[in-house]
Amino acid sequence: MGVAIRHIIIVGGGASGALLALNLLRASGGVTATLIESRPLLARGFAYGEAAPFHLLNVRAANMSAYLDVPDHLLDWLDGTSSTENVTGEGRFRFVPRRIYGRYLAEQLDALTLSPLGRDRLQTIHGLATSLERTASGVVVGLENGRQIAGDAVVLATGYGVKPQNRFPHQWLAWAPIDTDALASVQDVLILGTGHSAIDHVQLLLAAGYRGRITLLSRHGFMPSVHKPVEPARIDAREVPFGARLSAVWRWVRILAKQAESAGSDWRAVLDGLRPHAQELWQSLSDAEQARFIRHARSRYDVRRHRLAPFVANVLDRLQREDRLRVIAGRLQSVSDIGEAAEVVIGGRGTDFEQKLVVQGIIDCRGFELDPAQSNNPVLQSLLTQGLARTGRHGFGLAVDRDCALIDDAGEAASDLYAIGPLTRGQFWESISIPDIRQQTAVLANQLVNAHATSPV
């Protein structure tokens, strides 16, 4: 890092931006920060802001501390707070509502900004960042209201983009309030997607009093696995086949999973034990092997890696036993309006077989937009248009180097522009969950503070 870094602007005050701010404030030294967030509350981005009280984290509480160096911090906070409604499970294996987790992160930030260490070092601005420019003396972020914030470095923490939704007849917009009065006359709802957002919507329908049938549809029809209380396997970096072909990596993982089973544990312990090495392993794969993973293995990996809290899995099991929930693997071919309902044609996977469903509601839960070029986020568009950033590997997020520095159109890494969280998925793959973001923000904060300490005043 060649520039003098005294003031850091963080664009996006969701979980990633909040964790970076926390880490910057905890580091001694004179670095100051401005956090720009368009929503009214901090640390309440999509995951922790939109959730209903019954939407649980999909990671056990023991792994969700805000602080890398205080792993039991969330557990201790839970023991000392009255905010425990809807927490399920026991001890380290508790699953906390996402809303409560957002409150936990925001409380940490409040406490630190009021403490002697953090006082006067963090400014929060609520507004939409629309532009980012380099000037002779640093960087300037422009806001929608015309205000300009100057700093020495910018860290982008804008999270996922929202995919523009397809419009179907009888569509109910995802995350929009459900018309509970209308639900009584509905017998069949189709949810597009079988991932966590789709399951969130199953829970939302139940909570709204829906008694009919729900069909989940995705290309593979895979549902997330359920957590079990197993401890992560200890995997030494020297055992990991960095740089091997994907097929060899899978063989190695399968052998470890068999060994774990023989020892009374299972594959979950292996995937969890691999987490500390996952970013390095991903970066050691060639572009072609990464693309192969995305094409052929991602869906299977995702459903094992992003698991369900047992409480939620039990709800889904019950619905399936009552024949109120079914999962279909196939391609959505067409949706036509047939008056009071929609007729949906689904093509089988790799077959000519078609099936027709008649549903009164369709909810599209097919994920987020990871390609910033497709997002309507003005600050990302501003960077891309000026050539200060380019799209990340495989179209995921922004291109960054191993230090999270943005890579520009000419392939040069910046010394004043950075990205964290889901925006860095192409480079690290595992950078979307709190345990990874916590690590990433602790390391980046340290780098930025050190750059400040060694820079000319």
Ligand X SMILES: Cc1cc2nc3c(=O)[nH]c(=O)nc-3n(C[C@H](O)[C@H](O)[C@H](O)COP(=O)(O)OP(=O)(O)OC[C@H]3O[C@@H](n4cnc5c(N)ncnc54)[C@H](O)[C@@H]3O)c2cc1C
The binder of ligand X chosen from 129, 154, 344, 384 (CB under 6 A): 129
Closest distance of CB 34 from ligand X, Å: 11
Nearer to ligand X, 16 or 194 (CB): 16
Tokens of 143: 């806001």
Q: Are 21 and 109 in contact (CB under 8 A)?
A: yes
The Cβ-side half-sphere exposure at 284, using a 13 Å CA radius, reads 14
Q: How far is the CB of 344 from ligand X (least distance, A)?
A: 25
In the list 9, 16, 122, 218, the residue contacting ligand X (rule: CB under 6 A) is 16
Q: In the complex, what is the shortest distance from the CB of residue 349 to ligand X, in angstroms, rounded to a whole number?
A: 26
Q: Shortest gap between Cβ of 132 and ligand X (angstroms)?
A: 9
Would you say 59 or 407 has its CB closer to ligand X? 59
Distance separating alpha carbons of residues 265 and 437, to the nearest angstrom: 27
Q: Which of 6, 26, 39, 275 binds ligand X (CB under 6 A)?
A: 39
Q: Which stretch binds ligand X (CB under 6 A): 42-50, 110-118, 323-331, 347-355?
A: 42-50
| Cβ at position 218, least distance to ligand X in Å | 16
The answer to whether residue 17 forms part of the interface with ligand X (CB under 6 A) is yes
Q: How far is the CB of 59 from ligand X (least distance, A)?
A: 4
Of 23, 218, 279, 377, the residue at the interface with ligand X (CB under 6 A) is 377
Which is it for strands 188-192 and 213-218: parallel, antiparallel or unpaired?
parallel
Q: Does 20 bind ligand X (CB under 6 A)?
A: no
Q: Which is nearer to ligand X, 138 or 422 (CB)?
A: 422
Contact between 303 and ligand X (CB under 6 A)? Answer: no
Amino acid at 180: T
**Residue 386 binding ligand X, by CB under 6 A:** no
Is residue 198 a contact residue for ligand X (CB under 6 A)? Answer: no
**Comparison of 199 and 233: residue with beta carbon closer to ligand X:** 199
Binding mask 331-370 for ligand X (x = CB under 6 A): ----------------------------------------
Of 74-103, binders to ligand X (CB under 6 A) are 98
Closest CB 19 distance from ligand X, rounded Å: 8
Q: Does 313 bind ligand X (CB under 6 A)?
A: no
Please, what is the minimum distance in Å from the beta carbon of residue 102 to ligand X?
Answer: 9
Task: Tell whether residue 14 is a contact of ligand X (CB under 6 A).
Answer: yes
Interior/surface letters 284-294, b for 16+ CB within 10 angstroms, e for the rest: bbeeebbebbb
With CB under 6 A as the contact rule, the residue among 12, 97, 273, 392 that binds ligand X is 12
What phi, psi does 429 have (nearest 5°)? Answer: 60, -65
Size of the site for ligand X (CB under 6 A): 33
Nearer to ligand X, 290 or 377 (CB): 377
Within 148-167, which residues bind ligand X (CB under 6 A)?
157-160
**Residue 456 C-beta: closest distance to ligand X, Å:** 31
Span 421-450, contacts to ligand X by CB under 6 A = 421-422, 432-434
Contact positions vs ligand X (CB under 6 A): 11-17, 36-39, 45-47, 57-59, 98, 128-129, 157-160, 196-197, 377, 379, 421-422, 432-434
